[in-house]
Each structure stands twice: as C-alpha cells, then as structure tokens.
Structure 1
Amino acid sequence: MNYFKKIIKYIIPYKKYGYLNILFNILYAFFSMLSFLVLMPMLDIIFNPKAPKITTKPSYEGITKIIDFFKNSVSYYINEFAGDDKSKALLMVVGLVIITFFLKNIFNYLAMYFITFLRNGVLRDIRNDLYQKTITLPISFFSEKRKGDMMARIGSDVLEVQGSFLSILEMIVREPLTIIFTIIAMIAISFKLTIFVFIFIPISGYIISIIGKSLKRKSDKVQKEQGYFLSLIEETLGGLKVIKGFTAEKEFQNKFNNSTNRFYHFSNTLLNRTNLASPVSEFLGIGVIAVLLWYGGQLVLVDRTLQAADFIAYMGLAYNILTPAKAISKASYGVKKGNAAAERILEILETENPLKDAPNAIDKKTFDNEIDIDNISFKYEDSYVLENFSLKVPKGKMVALVGQSGSGKSTIANLLTRFYDVNKGAILIDGINIKNITKQSLRKLEGLVTQDSILFNDSVKNNITLGIKGKSDEEIIEAAKIANAHEFIKNLPNGYNTNIGDSGNKLSGGQKQRLNIARAVLKNPPIMILDEATSALDTESEKLVQDALEKMMLNRTSIVIAHRLSTIQKADLIVVMQKGKIVEQGTHKELIAKKGMYKKLVDMQSLV
C-alpha cells in the first residue's frame, strides 16, 4: 500500500466525486440489506396466512427488537392499506420489494457514475505527469531505459493503477458496508446463527490471502516483459531496413518469440492465480451457507425458536454476503497488481532530474560577447571523454571542431545545449555559467542542426515551426528559401501542408536535412550549433545543404562539428581534437601549412 499512498494525491482534485461515490455506496449497501428484509412480510403472508393482524401502530423498543419493530410496522401499514384482502396485501409487499431493489440499483449506478470521473481523471493526470516527466528528464536517463518499457508504463501500468483505485474504493466503502449492514440485520434476526458466520469468514479470508501472496511479484514480471517486447517492436520498426538488409529477420523473430513465450507463461500463472480467487471464495461461502442451513433448520424445525419466514430472509442475507466477500477478494488481488504498476510509475515520477535550473537561474535574452569553455572535463560513464578542455568562441565567429570519431566533438554540442552537465570546469556565455541560466532561455539562444534529421509525423509547416510561435506564412517561406527547401516543398501534393510521414520518411535525406535547417533559420538564434549536419548526405544534396548552411551562418556565431572537412574551410578557427584534447588550432591555411594532423585528415579525404 506504500505506493498507493503516494498516488493518493491524484485523487484530491476529484474528491467531490469520491465523496458522492461513498454516499451512494452507503445507500446501496443499506438498500442491499433492506431488499432482503422487505421479503419477510411477503413470506409471512405466503407461509403464515393465519398470523394475527397488527392493528395498532408498533412502538420502538430498542435495538435488540428492531427486526420485530420493522416487521410489525410493515404489517401494520399493509393491514391499513389492504384490510382483509390478501391479494391486495401481497401486491403491496411485491411493490415494496420492487421499489427497494430499484433504489438499490439506482444507487449502485450513481456510485459507479461518479467514480468514473475520478478514475478517468486520475488516469489522465498520471499520464500527463508521466509524459511531462519524460520530456524533462535528461537524455542520459533514456540511454539506460528501453523506449518500449516507458510506453508500457504510460499505457498499461497506468490503466492497472486506474482499475485498482476502483478496487480500493469498493474494498474500503461499498463491500464492507454491505457486509456490515447485512451482518447487523442477521444478528437482529438470530444471534446464534450469526456466530457461525464470524467463525467461518476469518478462515475463508486466511485461505484467500495465502493464494494472493505472490501476486505482486508475478504481476511485476508480466509488466516488465510487456515493456521489453514493446521496445522490441519499436526497435524493429525503426531498424527495418537494416534487419532486412542483413537478413536478420529470423534473429529478431526469435527474440520476439522468446519474449512473448515468457509473457505467456507469466500471464498464465498470474491469471490462474487471480481466477482462483472467485471460485475459492464462492466455495467457502457455500460451505458457510450449508452449515447455516443445517443449524438454522434445527432452530426452525426442532427448537422452534426461529420462524420459517425469518429463516428464509436470513439465508438470503447470508448469501448476500458472498458477492461483496468475493468482490473484496478480487479487489485485494487488483490492489496487489496495481501496487506493482504504481511502483513502476513512481520510479519515473520520483526520478530526480540532475539538470534542474538553479534556484536563482536567470532568463538570458541576448548573446553579446563570447562563449567561454573553461577547462572542462566530462565523462559519460567511467572514463573521461573530455579532459581540461578550453576554448573561446567570440560573437559572430565560426569555429569548427574536427577530429576522428570518439574525439569528443559531439560531446561539446551536448554540453553547450546542456543536454549533459560538465563534471569539472564551466561553460560561460557572456561570463555567466550556463548552469545559472534557465535551460529554456539558454536553448532559445541556440539553434541545433544534427546529423540525424529529426522530423515528426506532421505537415511540413508544423515541422518547420516546431516550438516557434507567431510566425507568418511569409516568414516560413523565407526560412525555407534560405534553406534551399522552398522549391521541393511547393512541388509536394499539398505544399507546406503536406504530411511527411513517420520521421519524414516521404522525403529524401537531403530534403529532410533542409527542413531541419529551415527550422533553425526560422528560430533565428544568435548561436548556431551544427553537429555533422552534412555527413549523411550524397554529393548533390551536400552542396544544396552546404549552401543553405552558409546562408544561415552569415553574421552569426557558429560552432560547427564536421566530419567532411570541405564544409569548414571558411571557418574563422578550426580546432583539431584527439581523445578529448586540442592538438591543433588555426585557420585552414595555417593548419595545412603546419602539416600536422589536420593535413593528414585533409589528405585522407582527397581535399586539395
């Protein structure tokens, strides 16, 4: 229950629906008991037609004689209404039974009606918070988590918790009250008979609890396995070309089959254990009923201390306990399953974000002087990727970072945008440590174009204006023209309103990258970070994209991470990196003249 206590805060905005649910559950429980008591006068009329009539209004003589008071009161009003006409009296009792059952079911519906708003509200709010947490957590968090597992938590785990909320409300209000009201009525009818109920119900509860002990653990296994195969589906769809190209279909099919087999076995164990609750509780309940039939029959036929009509009503009440008792056992299983799901949800919600804004962080609106990377060191896991790295980037200058793969170039881009934080040293903009600038205002100062063309299943226009509000169509078209994208966009079926498919798969690699550049142009930030923006393109696309990049970087501070050295010859400063350190720096001509590492890299790319 510890995890549910933490989820309780999601109920608070919907507490009025919870109170209404409790109110109507109380009324339901009361009328559930009353619906059996009103049968007693009818049974008296049928089985004891010669019983004396009640002609004087009965008076209340205390809780111990409440059943007699209830029966006599109903008999008095029946006599007042029907007189000597037995069929009329029977009709009135039948009408009373129908009204009681009608009210019982109306209150049941109203209780379920109001709980719906609470359940779905909690479902919506937890999902919203999970999604918000997902997009605010640092990128490093998701390098350790499978995407499918995150999808399972936001999808099925939240549904499990939602179902469990209803189970808890039933377990703590409706069903226990039904049992309590029913037992009170049973005690009022026959204290001796009710003793048997108190003996057998704890025994039944103990047996049911033994069955449910391992349920949470088994439920957790099911949910984790579901997260794994959802992740496998996501990876398969994302890498379908590679899977087919390397004829790895069988390998992935085996992985998926193994996962679904594990899910099959875990689910079978879980469902069979859950399904055992209902028949066990019903069998135990029938056992109690059988004992009551035997002992109650003795009281009616031998001892004659209990009337036949009262005994039949009593048996109805005893059976009425079975349904809520079964519901409680099912609800307790639901709670155990929901607790496992709540644990997985809270693992995400309670994850501490290491990249929080500092309490006194400022909103920086402008970039005025320089970027100062001051003696930084950084590691992703154990070994440092950058060590004692320093670099100054003056405003309006283009600085290029080159070097072999693994030299730490892209890490600089990740640190400048604060996707990660440095372990040592500091990165300053205009003399202010970026840790003291709000992440949102920092990233508004920066534009990012990556090697991977990240586009979304939406229109061209919405992809260009991502995160950018209030831009006119003319400004969007102008940005597309600067990015050399306008010509191909206007030839699309619906122009700027054309949907480009999942990850922009309806476009070529060069077209996708030009849309990325158009997005950066429209944002118009003072600092531009290009992370190998042309490395994945063919020669023709590279020329178009390179031309677009040069237009975009004009009079702008740019940090260019380049694999193709042809793209950075015009840079004001070229920094050559190796194993996280600077080994050379200077202009293209200066570095060629040095005949060092840069010259070797140029020669390898056959660049004159």
Structure 2
Amino acid sequence: MNYFKEILQYARPYRRYGVLNIICNIFYALFGTLSFVALVPVMKVLFQTTEDEYVKPEWQGITQAKDYLEDYVNWYVTDVMNEDQEMALVMMIGLVLILFLLKNLFGYLGMYFITFLRNGVMRDIRNALYHKIVNLPISYFSEKRKGDVIARATSDAQEVQTSFLSILELIVKEPLNILFALAAMLIFSVKLTIFVLVFIPVSGFIISLIGKRLKKQSDKVQREQGFFLSLLEETLGGLKVIKGFNAERRMEDTFQDSTQRYYNFANKLELRKGLASPVSEFLGILVIGTLLWFGGTMVFEGNIDGAIFISFMGLAYGILTPAKAISKASYGVKQGNAAAERVLQILHTENHIKDKDNAVEVSAFAKAVQFNNLSFAYEDEEVLKDFSLEIPKGSTVALVGQSGSGKSTIANLVTRFYDVSKGSISIDGHDIKDVSLKSLRNQMALVTQDSILFNDTVAVNVALSNKNATDEEVIEALKIANAWEFVSQLPQGIHTNIGDSGNKLSGGQKQRLSIARAVLKNAPILILDEATSALDTESERLVQEALENVMKNRTSIVIAHRLSTIQKADKIVVMSKGKIVEQGTHEELIALQGIYNNLVNMQSLA
C-alpha cells in the first residue's frame, strides 16, 4: 500500500472531484439502501399482511426508531389500502422506482467526478515520467532497455490507472453501501444481521488466499512485456541488418521465446484472477442459502415478518455485491502495486547530473574552455587519464586518434552528459559543475555522426532549439548548411514531413539538416562529433562546406575520423588510450613524423 499512497499524492490537485465523488457516493448508498427498504410496504400490499387497523404513531426518540418506522409504514399502507388497494400498490412501486432512479443518478455523478480525478492523475504521472526521462542522464539509459522504459511509461502507467486508481472509488463507494445496508438490517433484525456478519470475514479470508501471489506474477508479466517491446523497437531500427544477414528466423525465435514466457506468466496471472469470481459467487450464494434457511425458520416461528425478511434478503445481497467488489479490488491492488513499483522506480531515480544551489549563469562565452587533469571511466573502464587542454575563444581544435581513444568522451563531458571522475572542465573560469545546465548547453551546438532527426517537418527539426523561429530564419539556416537546395524541392518545402528518423532523406541530406539545426541555435561553441565520417565523397564535400560556413567566428571542437576535414584547425590533438600524445598544427605534426603522420599516410593524404 506504500506505492498506493505515493500515487495518491498526484490526486491532490483534483481533490475537489474526490470530495464531490464521496458526496455522490453517500447519496448513492443511501438511496440504494432505501430502495430495498421501500420494498417492505410493497410486499405488505401484495401479500395483504396489514389487515389490522393502525393509528399514526408518535415519535418516541431514536431508541424506538425501529418500532416507529414499522408502525408508520403499517399505518400508511393500511390507510391507503382502505381507500384503493391498487392505488396503494402503484404508489409503493412509484416510490421504489424514484429511489432507484436517484440511486443510479448519483451513481453516474460519482463516476462522472471520479473520471476527472483518475484521468487527471494519469496525465500528471505520464507527464512526470516524460519529464524524468528527458532529464535523467545519458548514463541511465545506457544500462536500460528502451522497450522496458517504454513499457513502464505506457502499459505500466495504464495498469496503475485501471487497477490502482479504480480503488479510489471502491474504498468509499462500496464501504458506504455496506454501512447503510447494515444499519437498515440492524433495524430489521439484529439476530439475522449478526448471522450475516459472521460469514463475510470468512469469505474475505478465503478469497484473499487466492490473491497472495498476484503481485509477483504481475511483475513477471510486466517485465516480460518490457523485454519484447524492447526487442520490437530494436527490430524496427535494425531491419536492414536483419534482412541483410538473413537473421529473420533467429530474431523470430528470440521474440517467440519472449512471447511464450509472457503467455505462461499471463496465463498463471489470469487464471488466479479468474478464480476470484466463481469462488466469491459461490461463497455469496452459500451465505444467501444459509440465510434463507435461518431466516425462514424465524418467519415460521413468527419472529420476523415475511415482507421484512424479503427486504432483508435484498439488503443482504446488496452487501455481498460490494463485498465481492472489494475482494476483487484487492487483486487490483496487488497487480497495480507491481505496476506502480516499476513506474515509481523511474520517478525516484536520483539524477546525479543536476544544477547546484545558486548555480552560475553563463550568459555569453567570452574566454576559453579548459580541461584540467581530466580522468573519466565508464564503470570500471578508464577512457581518459590526466587529460589537459585549453581551447581559447574563436579557435578550432580537432581531436583525432584511433577508435576508443576517448575523443567522443570529451564531447560527452563538455556538454555534461556525463560528469568527470577526476579533475575538472571549466568555461570562462567556472567549473561546469557550478554552471546551470541550461546556460551551459545554451553555449553549445552539437552535430553528431548519427543524424538524430524526428518524425516531423523540416522546420520543426531545424528549429528544435527555438520553436518561435520564423520560416525566414529556418530558410537562412538551411542555406548556410547547404541544405536549402534540396529542401526547396520537397513537396511542401520546409513544412514537409521527413519520416521516422528522417528516413525519407539521404545520409548527406540528414546531416545537413543537423548542421542547419546547429546554425539556427547560433551557439558560440560548436561540437562536431565525426560529423562527416559516415558520408560518401560528394555528400562529405557539401557537408564540409556547410561546416566551414558554420565554424566561422565560432569556437569549435572537432572530433574527426577523416583527417582531410581538419587540416585547417588551429590545433590538432592526437589521442591514444585516453591520453594526449601529440598536439600542434597539421604542418607541425607532419614534421614530427609521429603518430599523426602515420595516420595521414594510412589515409593516403600525404
């Protein structure tokens, strides 16, 4: 129930709907009970059990309430029956119909108000999840399956709504039904009421035994769902590779193994849940049957009026229905508990990369970016060791070296996607850990090797950093990035949808859109992480021209695989195994006849 309490924190903004729901449920339970009580005079009219003459009773206080109500009903019914028996029956039936109408009206109103609460809470939980996902550090997702995260934000969140939040209504509505019904039953017969109350806890205990392992089974189902959703996401992203290597059968086998496990877990869960209904139904009928026998003997002995006993039976059945609903709801709590735990695991994940109190705001980059004795490790693998470098404003520094030498790690650290293990990075003399993340990243524009585009229009992708950018600003950025030539030929120009991950465009076109996005941001520091390494010669030439346009009057950190693209850099830093082994201009490094010269010769650039 701890998870339930945490989920309820999201209900605070909607408490007015909760209050209105409770008020409606009070009237629902009241009129539900009165509708069964009103059957008493109907029965009396039908069976003509009121042949004696009655006088209108006087109120003698709450202690005589039962006798007063019974005498009043007898008096009213006989008074009307003496005039017109059929009219008496119509009036009593009309009363019952009105009470049932009011009961159902307030039942609907209760559902109406709780709907806003449930859906509002669900919306806020999903928003909180998305906010958490986009703010968690990159390192969190390198250890998680994407499909599992998606499952938690979708199916698990939905399970919280259907299994958990439905309890909000049950914990008020059904107990009130039981409470009002018990009050009426006690007025009718204390002895019969005690008899019913003995059976209900026994039934509840038996049903609770069935649901003991539901949380564990539900957790397995949800975890397996996360696994095959992740597999599906990977399949959609890697269809070319799967088909190219004839791996369809292998991937199908892996997916079918997962869905078979899901099938087994889901069967166990549903069978256990399904057992609740027949068991509770049988126990309910058992109670009713026993009550018929016990109450019937009381009618025969004259200890209770037959009409009252029939109404009592209706009230007893009215208690069993909400009692069964509460017992079934306990299954929902267990199932929702597992889903809520998985949702809250994300919401409770601590974000280690966040702003300090009183973080510094860097409004405009003015001097230099400095790396001071930097060391960094992904878990136990150290990728940078005592790395020191200064990048003055307006200069272009290129990082080169073999794969795994730590080049891309520099880009991840300067943007604070990861935090350094040892040493520091400073911008204009401020340690970036002391600078607010927003102002730090406002100083930087990033172009990666993989062109990350979204399933939206060209304009939306280019203006990612500024949703208020005008069409003219977007077009100007596209021109600088050598992208306007092909964008202008698209069916709807900048308002053309480019498909999932920009799959309607070529690799060079996608990369030029990424560069246009960096242009529009107009950040003083440009980070190019192997921006041309995946392109053909013609596309590389166009992209390189675009990059040179963008790099003018900017501080640039260029991570390069193709050395032809960085010969004009102010400084080239050669890295090996996380350390700087050479640095200087292209000409200086060639003259050294060292590692850089060997790399150039291998690429046939000498």
Q: Same fold (TM over 0.5)?
A: yes
Trace 1:309-328 onto structure 2 (pairs within 5 A): 309-328=307-326
Trace 1:21-40 onto structure 2 (pairs within 5 A): 21-40=21-40
Change (3 A) 1:50 1:24: closer
Other-structure match for 2:423: 425
> 1:360: Cα distance to partner?
1.6
Greater shift after overlay, 133-142 or 73-82? Answer: 73-82
In structure 2, C-alpha distance between the alignment counterparts of 1:196 and 1:78, rounded to whole Å: 30
In structure 2, C-alpha distance between the alignment counterparts of 1:148 and 1:368, rounded to whole Å: 43
Other-structure match for 1:442: 440
Other-structure match for 2:567: 569
Change (3 A) 1:191 1:552: same
In structure 2, C-alpha distance between the alignment counterparts of 1:203 and 1:55, rounded to whole Å: 44
> 1:68: Cα distance to partner?
3.4
> 1:153: Cα distance to partner?
1.0
Contact 1:453/1:512 (CA < 8 Å) preserved in 2?
A: yes
- Mark the runs of 5 or more structure 1 residues left unpaired by the alignment: none
Other-structure match for 2:5: 5
> 1:584: Cα distance to partner?
0.5
1:195 aligned partner, one-letter code: I
1:300 aligns with 2:303: no
> 1:221: Cα distance to partner?
0.7
Greater shift after overlay, 478-487 or 51-60? Answer: 51-60
Other-structure match for 2:146: 147
Change (3 A) 1:362 1:370: same
Contact 1:167/1:335 (CA < 8 Å) preserved in 2?
A: no
1:131 aligns with 2:130: yes
Greater shift after overlay, 505-514 or 360-369? Answer: 360-369
Other-structure match for 1:474: 472
> 1:81: Cα distance to partner?
5.2
In structure 1, C-alpha distance between the alignment counterparts of 2:92 and 2:13, rounded to whole Å: 44
Post-superposition CA distance 1:546-571 (Å, at most 9, x none): 01101110121101000000000000
Trace 1:597-608 onto structure 2 (pairs within 5 A): 597-608=595-606
Name which of 542, 545, 560 aligns with 1:544.
542
Name which of 381, 387, 403 aligns with 1:389.
387
Post-superposition CA distance 1:498-531 (Å, at most 9, x none): 1100000000000000000011111111110000
Other-structure match for 1:245: 244
Other-structure match for 1:100: 99
Contact 1:369/1:430 (CA < 8 Å) preserved in 2?
A: yes
Other-structure match for 2:462: 464
Other-structure match for 2:577: 579
Post-superposition CA distance 1:470-514 (Å, at most 9, x none): 433222222111111010010111111111000000000000000
Change (3 A) 1:449 1:507: same
Contact 1:55/1:79 (CA < 8 Å) preserved in 2?
A: no
Contact 1:370/1:430 (CA < 8 Å) preserved in 2?
A: yes
Contact 1:196/1:288 (CA < 8 Å) preserved in 2?
A: no
SS of the aligned residue for 1:563 comes to coil
In structure 2, C-alpha distance between the alignment counterparts of 1:261 and 1:605, rounded to whole Å: 51
> 1:393: Cα distance to partner?
0.5
In structure 1, C-alpha distance between the alignment counterparts of 2:231 and 2:71, rounded to whole Å: 70
1:533 aligned partner, one-letter code: A
In structure 2, C-alpha distance between the alignment counterparts of 1:495 and 1:61, rounded to whole Å: 84
Post-superposition CA distance 1:169-211 (Å, at most 9, x none): 2332111121122122222212222222122111111101100
Normalised by the length of structure 2, the TM-score is 0.98
SS of the aligned residue for 2:83 comes to coil
Post-superposition CA distance 1:404-426 (Å, at most 9, x none): 00000000000010000101111
Greater shift after overlay, 477-486 or 532-541? Answer: 477-486
> 1:166: Cα distance to partner?
3.9
1:334 aligned partner, one-letter code: G
Other-structure match for 2:217: 218
Trace 1:73-472 onto structure 2 (pairs within 5 A): 73-78=72-77, 83-301=82-300, 303-472=301-470
1:44 aligns with 2:44: yes
In structure 2, C-alpha distance between the alignment counterparts of 1:53 and 1:332, rounded to whole Å: 51
> 1:165: Cα distance to partner?
4.1
In structure 1, C-alpha distance between the alignment counterparts of 2:167 and 2:302, rounded to whole Å: 43
SS of the aligned residue for 1:406 comes to coil
- Mark the runs of 5 or more structure 2 residues left unpaired by the alignment: none
1:588 aligns with 2:586: yes
SS of the aligned residue for 1:281 comes to helix
SS of the aligned residue for 1:11 comes to helix
1:559 aligns with 2:557: yes
2:402 aligned partner, one-letter code: Q
Contact 1:200/1:288 (CA < 8 Å) preserved in 2?
A: yes
1:249 aligned partner, one-letter code: E
In structure 2, C-alpha distance between the alignment counterparts of 1:171 and 1:503, rounded to whole Å: 45
Post-superposition CA distance 1:24-58 (Å, at most 9, x none): 11111111111111000111111135522433244
In structure 2, C-alpha distance between the alignment counterparts of 1:227 and 1:319, rounded to whole Å: 42
Contact 1:171/1:332 (CA < 8 Å) preserved in 2?
A: no
Contact 2:50/2:74 (CA < 8 Å) preserved in 1?
A: no
In structure 2, C-alpha distance between the alignment counterparts of 1:603 and 1:515, rounded to whole Å: 32
1:495 aligned partner, one-letter code: G
Contact 1:167/1:332 (CA < 8 Å) preserved in 2?
A: no
Post-superposition CA distance 1:421-462 (Å, at most 9, x none): 101111011111011111111111001000000101111111
Name which of 466, 490, 501 aligns with 2:499.
501
1:407 aligned partner, one-letter code: S
SS of the aligned residue for 2:447 comes to strand
SS of the aligned residue for 1:341 comes to helix
Post-superposition CA distance 1:135-185 (Å, at most 9, x none): 000000001111111111111111111123443223321111211221222
Normalised by the length of structure 1, the TM-score is 0.98
2:59 aligned partner, one-letter code: S
Change (3 A) 1:167 1:460: closer
Post-superposition CA distance 1:288-339 (Å, at most 9, x none): 11111111111111x2111111111111111111210111011111111111
Contact 1:389/1:582 (CA < 8 Å) preserved in 2?
A: yes
Trace 1:47-58 onto structure 2 (pairs within 5 A): 47-58=47-58
In structure 2, C-alpha distance between the alignment counterparts of 1:504 and 1:319, rounded to whole Å: 62
In structure 2, C-alpha distance between the alignment counterparts of 1:169 and 1:8, rounded to whole Å: 9
1:72 aligns with 2:67: no
Q: Number of matched residues?
A: 606
2:193 aligned partner, one-letter code: T
SS of the aligned residue for 1:176 comes to helix
In structure 1, C-alpha distance between the alignment counterparts of 2:162 and 2:527, rounded to whole Å: 47
1:263 aligned partner, one-letter code: Y
In structure 1, C-alpha distance between the alignment counterparts of 2:409 and 2:177, rounded to whole Å: 64
In structure 1, C-alpha distance between the alignment counterparts of 2:107 and 2:250, rounded to whole Å: 53
In structure 2, C-alpha distance between the alignment counterparts of 1:607 and 1:364, rounded to whole Å: 41
1:524 aligned partner, one-letter code: N
Contact 1:127/1:158 (CA < 8 Å) preserved in 2?
A: yes
Greater shift after overlay, 97-106 or 471-480? Answer: 471-480
Once superposed, what is the RMSD of the aligned Cα atoms? 1.3
In structure 2, C-alpha distance between the alignment counterparts of 1:55 and 1:196, rounded to whole Å: 33
